Amino acid sequence: MKFMKFQNYTNIKILINTSLVFLIIFGLWASLHYVIYSWAPDYDCSYPAMLWYGIHIYGLGFIKSVIYTADNYLFSLTPIFFALFSTIGVNPYTVVITGWIIFISSGFLSGYIIWKATKNSTLALLTIVLSLLIGIYNNTASWISYPVSHDASNMWLLINFIIAMHIFSNQGKNKYVNYILYNLLCF
C-alpha cells in the first residue's frame, strides 16, 4: 500500500512538472510575442545603437557629449551590444531580442537559485513560470523588451548571487576558483 502512495505521488509530481514545463514554453512564447508587438522606440531601447553609431562616426570623444542618467546599468551591456553589432549589425530586432533574452535569463537564473537552495524542481519551475508570465499579469509587458533597464541590473545581481552561493557553499574545497569568483563578484 505504501508503494502505491509513493507511485501516485511520483506520478502527480511528474504531471505537475510537465505542466510547468509547458507553461514555461508558453511564457517564452507569450513574452516574445509581447516584446515584438508592443515594442516602440524610446531611449531605453535606442541607447545602445545611438552609442554605437556615435562612437563609429565621431570616435571615442563622442562619449563626452552623451548625457547619462545616474543609473549604472547603461555601460554594463555595452560590451555585449558592441559584440552583437559587430557581428550581426545594428537593427531594432537585435536590441529588442537582446532585451528579451536578458528578461528570460533573469527568470531562469531565479529558478536556478531556488533549485540550488531548496533542491525542489517543482518550486524552481514555478519560479520560472511566474517570472516569465509577470508581464501578462501587470499589463505592462512592453518593459520586457528594454535591454537597457532594470532587467539588466536584475540579471547581473542574480549572476552575482549565484557566484556568492558557489563561493560560500565551496569554501574550503577549491580556494583558487573561489578567489577568482570572488574577484569577479567584486568587479
Q: Report pLDDT digits (tens) over 77-108.
A: 888 888 999 899 888 888 888 888 888 898 89
Long-range contacts of 86-89 (CB under 8 A, 24+ apart): none
- Report, in angstroms and rounded to the nearest whole number, the Rg of the chain calculated over CA atoms: 20
Q: What is the pLDDT of residue 9?
A: 67
Question: How far does CA 67 lie from the centroid of its chain?
Answer: 26
Where is pLDDT greater, at 12 or 40? Answer: 12
State residue 73's pLDDT score.
Answer: 61
Enumerate residues 6+ apart whose C-beta is below 8 A from 112: 124, 162
Q: Say whether pLDDT at 179 is over 80.
A: no
Q: Return the pLDDT at 144.
A: 60
pLDDT for 157 equals 84
Specify the pLDDT at position 128.
92
Confidence at residue 125, expressed as pLDDT on a 0 to 100 scale: 93
From CA 115, how far away is CA 50, in angstroms rounded?
39
Residue 3 has pLDDT above 60, yes or no: no
Range in 17-21, 24-28, 95-99, 141-145 the model is least confident about: 141-145
Q: pLDDT (tens digit, 9 = 90+) per residue, 112-148?
A: 999 999 999 999 999 999 888 876 655 455 556 565 6
Structural domain that includes position 180: 2-186
Nearest-angstrom CA–CA distance, 5 and 62: 68
How would residue 70 be classed by pLDDT, with cut points 50, 70 and 90? low
Query: What's the whole-model pTM score?
Result: 0.78
For the ranges 24-38, 58-72, 146-160, the maximum mean pLDDT occurs at 24-38
- The predicted pLDDT at position 21 comes to 92
Question: What's the pLDDT at 69?
Answer: 66
The total number of structural domains that make up the chain: 1
Averaged confidence pLDDT in the chain: 79
- DSSP state at residue 142: G
Phi, psi of 45 (to 5 degrees): -85, -35
d(Cα 146, Cα 45) in Å, to the nearest integer?
5
